[in-house]
């Protein structure tokens, strides 16, 4: 099949390589034509995925409308906060019913919409599939064994995506819970910031284990109130993605938290990261807002939001969490 990958970052590039390994034709779209030309000549993505050689058959396209017209399937690998602008560049070229796969994880900061909702607003009634799970681009590009889940209201579409990506290094399960899979991927980015704070403060293993356990419980509770299925959060897009994001050195969100735990300000951290996006920062605002709308009790999300947006110190947040009213675990 012919696939247009929208997003020349690490994740879009790694997935493009996997698709080419499976025999598909792939065109990579990026927002900066000069950088696409550099990638084409060097056969590397030194800015986002250094040390990896790109396949000779990987094609490049800077015209979004042209990329859409020449493909069978669209793969969205654009950070959540920039996605709406990229969809507008497609300029009505996406036919109704076209399969659109999304691999970004977040909540739009102004509308507080999930990505499937943004896609519906901008592209209309396409066949949407969310592909998510514990999957760092750096490891997928090196063919490290990885498992993810493809979620869609259309069983046929989920199974198509499963076959599209699956090989001996990349295993894909299917699900019909788009809401749960999207929220699992988005909320774990928020939680990873707090896991990083614990590491940055050098608090040890006990608090991090306790935090991750309560985080998956809170994610599942909120996810169910927002329309997801509770058991989805026990799967790859919930606990699986939470584990990898909270523990890995590849995690940008954990890095933000680690630097906060060491005493740096959020603005200092984001300035130092440059073009590298930490989705958990804007998504924490969305998670906090959606929790308030749903009437959910989300002490962890509330604390992360207060640290990022209300200048609450990590020490104060920890004290407040530890001294909350005693209660049953479940």
Which residues are designated catalytic? Answer: 188
DSSP code at position 31:
S
DSSP code at position 101:
E
DSSP code at position 230:
G
Phi, psi dihedral angles at 274 (to 5 degrees):
65, -125
Q: What is the spatial distance between Cα 296 and Cα 283, in angstroms, rounded to a whole number?
A: 17
Longest alpha-carbon distance in the chain? 61
Q: Is 266 exposed, middle or buried (0-12, 13-18, 19+ CB in 10 A)?
A: middle
Give the tokens for residue 69. 């017209």
Q: What is the spatial distance between Cα 151 and Cα 153, in angstroms, rounded to a whole number?
A: 7
- In the chain, what is the straight-line distance between the N-terminal and C-terminal CA atoms, in Å? 47
């Amino acid at each position: 099949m012919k696939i247009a990958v929208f997003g020349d970052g690490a994740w879009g590039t790694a997935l493009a390589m996997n698709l080419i390994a499976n025999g598909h034709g792939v065109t990579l779209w990026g927002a900066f034509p000069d950088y696409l030309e550099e990638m084409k000549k060097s056969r590397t993505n030194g800015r986002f995925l250094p040390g990896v050689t790109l396949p000779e058959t990987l094609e490049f396209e800077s015209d979004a409308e042209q990329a859409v017209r020449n493909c069978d399937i669209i793969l969205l690998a654009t950070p959540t906060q920039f996605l709406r602008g990229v969809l507008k560049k497609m300029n009505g070229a996406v036919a109704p019913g076209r399969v659109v796969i999304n691999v970004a994880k977040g909540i739009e900061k102004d509308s507080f919409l999930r990505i499937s909702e943004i896609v519906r607003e901008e592209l209309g009634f396409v066949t949407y599939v969310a592909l998510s799970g514990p999957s760092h681009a750096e490891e997928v590009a090196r063919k490290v064994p990885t498992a993810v889940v493809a979620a869609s209201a259309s069983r046929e579409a989920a199974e198509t995506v499963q076959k599209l990506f699956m090989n001996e290094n990349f295993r894909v399960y299917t699900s019909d819970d788009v809401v749960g899979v999207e929220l699992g991927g988005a909320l774990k980015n928020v939680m990873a910031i707090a896991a990083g704070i614990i590491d940055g403060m050098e608090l040890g293993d006990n608090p991090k284990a306790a935090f991750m356990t309560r985080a998956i419980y809170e994610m599942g509770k909120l996810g169910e109130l927002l329309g997801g299925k509770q058991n989805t959060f026990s799967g790859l897009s919930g606990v699986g993605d939470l584990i990898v994001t909270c523990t890995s050195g590849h995690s940008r969100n954990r890095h933000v938290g680690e630097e906060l735990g060491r005493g740096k300000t959020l603005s200092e951290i984001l300035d130092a990261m440059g073009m590298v996006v930490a989705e958990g920062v804007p998504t924490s605002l969305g998670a906090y807002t959606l929790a308030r709308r749903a009437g959910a009790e989300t002490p962890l999300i509330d604390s992360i939001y207060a640290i990022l947006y209300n200048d609450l110190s990590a020490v104060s947040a920890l004290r407040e969490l530890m001294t909350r009213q005693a209660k049953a675990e479940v």
